[in-house]
């Protein structure tokens, strides 16, 4: 689970309130798992290369992101095909916080396009809105 729950817990309230996606990195450094501050994206996308970057010498685990508010035009509770394609290519984990307050993890399997393992790793409490 690493720092993904904490990272998503801290931003998902804002993501839902403003209807934008956010993303940031999950990484290991000096024996500890950590995350970068979230970068704001758009209503239906966020960058797969968020800024700030993890510090030099980090082992990158993957990226966390949120899916903004509930919208009937989007499948916000699941990883999109684009989500899977990008992280299959990189062979990194992708975490998502959904408007339904669930955190899911996508773990690519080499050679299996969009066939990685999806797990629900936790439920989040929606806390205050960060400016
Ligand atoms: Zn996504």
Whether the pLDDT of residue 24 is over 50: the answer is yes
| Reduced DSSP (H G I as helix, E B as strand, rest coil) percent helix, strand, coil of the chain, to 5 | 20, 35, 45
C-alpha of residue 57 to centroid of ligand 1, in Å? 27
Gap from CA of 10 to ligand 1 centroid (Å): 17
Q: Where are the domains of the chain?
A: 4-123
Report the chain's C-alpha Rg in angstroms.
Answer: 14
pLDDT tens column, 5-20? 999 999 999 999 999 9
| Residue 7: other Cβ atoms inside 10 A | 27
Per the listing, tokens 């690519």 go with 108
Ligand 1 centroid from CA 28, angstroms: 22
Model pLDDT for residues 59-91, shown as the tens digit of each residue: 999 999 999 888 888 889 999 999 999 999 999
Say what the pLDDT of residue 40 is: 97
Class of domain 4-123 as given by CATH: alpha beta
- CA 12, 112, 87, 120: dihedral to nearest 10 degrees? 20
């Amino acid at each position: 689970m690493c720092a993904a729950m904490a990272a998503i817990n801290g931003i998902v309230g804002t993501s839902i309130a403003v209807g934008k996606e956010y993303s940031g990195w999950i990484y290991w450094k000096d024996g500890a798992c950590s995350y970068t501050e979230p970068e704001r994206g758009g209503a239906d996308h966020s960058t797969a290369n968020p800024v700030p970057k993890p510090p030099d010498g980090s082992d990158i685990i993957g990226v966390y992101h949120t899916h903004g508010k509930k919208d009937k035009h989007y499948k916000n509770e699941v990883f999109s095909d684009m989500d899977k394609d990008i992280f299959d290519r990189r062979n990194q984990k992708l975490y998502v916080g959904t408007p339904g307050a669930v955190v899911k993890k996508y773990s690519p399997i080499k050679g299996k396009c969009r066939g990685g393992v999806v797990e629900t790793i936790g439920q989040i409490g929606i806390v205050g809105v960060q400016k």
